[in-house]
Structure 1
């Protein structure tokens, strides 16, 4: 084989090798793109599944709360009202009976207030600020702690379903404060701007050591799942003997 043939062979071999290399690169790029598309699709499917699961769980909880509300109002409330009437009809008006009548009247009032705050249908007629204020009033009446609400800015309309979810997140925080924090004060701030609602709730309780999401309790997981459904950014801060603070930002849709 003379030099010219060798050069021709090398050129052909180089062209073939280059073509193979380009083909391999193209196939690899196509494989990576397909792989990325599949991964993105899997992530979207997982997100959709988790969202639908969370929505279903929330619907079940709301239906349960609705049934409890009806039971409190229509059954237990009526029984207590009947008991109050029976005591009032008692001939001997002793101080003990008068005190029992007053106590039952307060209990009936609290039952009605609680029934309203857990019933999704009743909450639809209230703004977020009104619903939170009812909770603050209830805590103060029951002397659980000193509770206050501050509202800044001009309120903007929020989808009723999303407004209930925001309120349920706050209720979860309030419940933890009352049951576990040993706090004497609870403060809530609703700060409305043109583009968002910033919600802050904090207590002066014993606080707790924060854990990772995987180690979080059911209450915190519920709050995070609800926040995801309405695309709200939620953060919880707590330290031993420094109280606990919830910060949440909900963006208005133009």
Structure 2
């Protein structure tokens, strides 16, 4: 009888111990789960902030380009029309000049829209940027597209577009390049973007030698934000090349 009582006590003790262990494990699991949820929310918040920052930068860069175009392109057309009027040249020539200026203004008004990437594809937006550079004769730029274009998430395309804008800006400000080539390749659920200029280049054998103000570290950081890989290679007097590799199940 005494043995039966001891056995019951042991069984009760084991049962209580197991219940306590289950409660402890449940509490630990809940804490870890809550920590992961908080981390995920924090990551989503930072991602949203970065996307918002990127959109603002795209807009600022677009306005900067527009100011250049107003000064260097449309300004020249209006000046020409003024000279033609002063010299009383052919009325048709004046009308043609003014008509060209109006067309340029309409094209600019479209690019001002904050919905640029929502209303057009990544490829179209990049082509529009390079067309502007060609028109202003800063350098000769061209875009190659390999494969069938696939529309990615809008936020991913925004980051890609800003990275390319950053590279274009660097090429104009620092590279002293005369040509720029961008290749966008769609293949087997991957997107690979390569941008290369023929500028003066720099020694990027270690990150400390990257020139200040070029935003290269920012480019790599932004690529990581959307789980893409970005690499930048450059040699003095041999130009600079940016490669972005992105893989995702595309719909």
Which TM bucket (shorter chain)? 0.5 to 0.7
Q: Which residue of 2 aligns with 1:173?
A: 167
Distance 1:15 1:251 in 2: 54
**Residues 142 and 216 of structure 1: CA distance in aligned 2, closer, same or farther (over 3 Å):** closer
Which residue does 1:23 correspond to in 2?
19
* CA offsets 1:9-57 (integer angstroms, 9 cap, x no match): 8646644553454234223311221111111110121022113323433
1:233 aligns with 2:228: yes
Unpaired runs of 5+ residues, structure 2, are 90-96
Greater C-alpha radius of gyration? 1
1:248 aligns with: 245
Determine helix, strand or coil for the equivalent of 1:154.
coil
Q: Does 1:36 align with 2:46?
A: no
Report what 2:81 is aligned to: 85
TM-score (norm 1): 0.64
Give the length in aligned residue pairs: 234
- Return closer, same or farther for 1:182/1:192 CA change in 2, 3 Å cut-off: same
Tell me how far apart the structure 2 counterparts of residues 181 and 119 of structure 1 sit (CA, whole Å). 29
- Give ranges in structure 1 of 5+ residues lacking alignment: 94-101
Map of 1:221 onto structure 2: 218
In structure 1, the residue matched to 2:185 is: 191
Q: Does 1:129 align with 2:118?
A: no
Matched, 1:210 2:207: yes
Q: Mapping of 1:70-149 within 5 angstroms?
A: 81-91=77-87, 119-121=113-115, 126-140=120-134, 142=136, 144-149=138-143
CA RMSD of aligned residues (A): 4.7
| Change over 3 Å in CA distance of 1:239–1:194 after alignment to 2 | closer
Normalised TM-score (structure 2): 0.64
